[in-house]
Structure 1
Amino acid sequence: MSSILITGASKGVGRATAAELAKRGHRVVATARDPRTLDGLDVDQRLRLDVTDQASVDAAIDQAGEIDTLVSNAGVIFAAAVEASPLSEIERLYSQNTVGAIRVVQALLPQMRQRGKGRLVFVSSMGGRIVLPGNSAYAASKWALEAFGETLAIELSGLGIDVTLAEPGPISSGALDNVTIYSLPGVSDDPYAALVGGSIPPEMMSTPEQAAAALAELVEADTVPLRVPVGPVAQHVLAARDAAPYDQPFLPA
């Protein structure tokens, strides 16, 4: 049995992962900005943790005690062409998706280093390896997370702490149902409108439970690879990305 802390466990993949790992007999510490959203989760602890608030992170880590594995899942998204993306919203995505993830890691690493053992499981995205029109800010925050994760894998390789980046494709968690979309202000004929905010066919989506099962396997595995595509769409798209010319933009067919 491992002690596992999960960020962003109020809904979707985070909640499903907390439930799956608890069902497998692990000690699960589920966290969210509002701990009331964790009601009904049958886990060891339900704690407030806002990845953008250092005091909140420190308090949660202190209450959680010894943690073997972090599942870093908290994240947000919006859709907009680069020209139409509000800078404040780009900063918000970086603050939560990237800096917030590293803030939690920094709080946990001292205890993991002292024990000489630990695992960091980052919930990245296939968007951390590719870009789509209208998705630049989210993808950039995940590309940055991938850079931090790969660097951590190198820095921690001799300390008994391993790192893996899970890269899911689209997931039917509800997060993509009502994505905030920004268009060019004051422009009646937005040239980017056809590129932004298209719906994803349901048959292309994995369920939160499927993603949770994949994450649970990464938590329990003896060893983990640096990167793991999660779901058939991510596997197909990232294989195509790897085979595509390096000197040209790549757009999945």
Structure 2
Amino acid sequence: MARVLITGASRGIGRGLVVELSKRGHEVIATARDLSSLDDVPAAQNLQLDVTDQASVETAIAAAGRVDVLISNAGATVRAPLETVPLDEVSRLFELNTFGALRVAQAVLPQMRGRGSGRIAFVSSVQGRLAIPLIGPYSASKWALEGIAESLAIEVRHFGVEVQVFEPGAVSSGGAERAKVFLDEDDPYFPMLEQLAGFRTAPVTVEEFATVVADAIESSDVPFRIPVGEAAIAQLQARKAAPEDQPFVAAPLNW
């Protein structure tokens, strides 16, 4: 069984991953910014870890000891038109979703490279391959994460380290409901916001997502990119088939 470190493990996808992997007998290291939020998580070890803080990352990885698998899950999203989204908020998303993921990967890679084995799994999104209106900052942070992950996969495979990217569509994790919203009913973009529900068809459950990740971790032959859920597969296939000379719309907008 593997020692698996999970970021953002206090709720949603992260908590689901802890439950599934612990049930399968893996030694799970659950991490979150607020250590008390992990009190009822069934992990072998709980650690405070803020992926946006270098000192916090270094302290947590030192305390974790051996890490066979890193699941980089911590992240957030927003709802806002790019015309008016606060740039500080865009920076926050990149610091959390993109730079934070790289920061933790950098911290665990020396030990993995030294052993000649290890796996890094990034929780991305279909929005790392396509853009959805009013969620542009999140999409941009995930597109950047996918670029980092792909480059990293090429660089570290010589050292026996594998990299995977998981690309779910909508997940019933509560993340969308917790998203900051930077527009109101008087905003000219508000009618588009009301139609975003059309992009969240057939969401996968946290448990379904965790099962896909756990199965991949336990397999020796998995692809680099792994779409999760029928909706994600359909959206990515449609994006691949769409003309490259115009923006792709994953669902119709009557606006």
Q: Report matched runs for 1:114-193 at 5 Å.
A: 114-183=114-183, 189-193=186-190
* Residue of structure 1 equivalent to 2:47: 47
Taking structure 1 as reference, are residues 203 and 249 closer, same or farther at Cα in structure 2, changes over 3 Å only? closer
Shift of 1:247: 1.7
Contact 1:124–1:142 (CA<8 Å) still a contact in 2?
yes
- CA deviations on 1:42-101 (whole Å, 9 max, x unpaired) are 211011000001111011101110011100000011111100110000000000000000
The letter of the residue matching 1:206 is V
* Residue of structure 2 equivalent to 1:12: 12
Contact 1:164–1:228 (CA<8 Å) still a contact in 2?
yes
Contact 2:10–2:41 (CA<8 Å) still a contact in 1?
no
The letter of the residue matching 1:213 is T
* Residue of structure 2 equivalent to 1:111: 111
- 1:247 and 2:235 correspond: no
* Residue of structure 2 equivalent to 1:62: 62
* Residue of structure 1 equivalent to 2:203: 205
* Residue of structure 2 equivalent to 1:237: 235
Contact 2:76–2:179 (CA<8 Å) still a contact in 1?
no
The letter of the residue matching 1:192 is Y
SS in structure 2 opposite 1:139? helix
Task: Provide the C-alpha distance between the structure 1 equivalents of 2:121 and 2:157, rounded to a whole number of angstroms.
Answer: 15
Task: Provide the C-alpha distance between the structure 2 equivalents of 1:197 and 1:43, rounded to a whole number of angstroms.
Answer: 39
Contact 2:9–2:30 (CA<8 Å) still a contact in 1?
yes
Shift of 1:37: 0.8
Shift of 1:218: 1.7
The letter of the residue matching 1:21 is L
Structure 2 residue aligned with 1:194, among 185, 191, 196? Answer: 191
Shift of 1:190: 2.7
Task: Provide the C-alpha distance between the structure 1 equivalents of 2:247 and 2:24, rounded to a whole number of angstroms.
Answer: 42
* Residue of structure 2 equivalent to 1:222: 220
Could you list the structure 1 runs, at least 4 aligned residues long, displaced by more than 2 angstroms after superposition: 188-191, 196-203
* Residue of structure 2 equivalent to 1:100: 100
Shift of 1:191: 2.3
Task: Give the unaligned 5+ runs of structure 1.
Answer: none
- CA deviations on 1:196-230 (whole Å, 9 max, x unpaired) are 26453676211111111111112111122111101
Task: Provide the C-alpha distance between the structure 2 equivalents of 1:56 and 1:198, rounded to a whole number of angstroms.
Answer: 39
* Residue of structure 2 equivalent to 1:28: 28
Shift of 1:113: 0.5
Which stretch shows the higher mean deviation, 88-97 or 188-197?
188-197
The letter of the residue matching 2:71 is V
The letter of the residue matching 2:197 is I
Contact 1:119–1:162 (CA<8 Å) still a contact in 2?
yes
The letter of the residue matching 1:236 is A
Contact 1:167–1:234 (CA<8 Å) still a contact in 2?
yes
Which stretch shows the higher mean deviation, 189-198 or 84-93?
189-198
Taking structure 1 as reference, are residues 176 and 198 closer, same or farther at Cα in structure 2, changes over 3 Å only? farther
Task: Provide the C-alpha distance between the structure 2 equivalents of 1:96 and 1:13, rounded to a whole number of angstroms.
Answer: 16
Task: Give the unaligned 5+ runs of structure 2.
Answer: none
Percent identity, please.
50
Contact 1:134–1:197 (CA<8 Å) still a contact in 2?
no
User: Normalising by structure 1, what TM-score?
Assistant: 0.95
* RMSD (CA atoms): 1.5
Task: Provide the C-alpha distance between the structure 2 equivalents of 1:154 and 1:178, rounded to a whole number of angstroms.
Answer: 35
Contact 2:130–2:139 (CA<8 Å) still a contact in 1?
yes
Which stretch shows the higher mean deviation, 224-233 or 67-76?
224-233
| Number of matched pairs | 250
The letter of the residue matching 1:100 is G
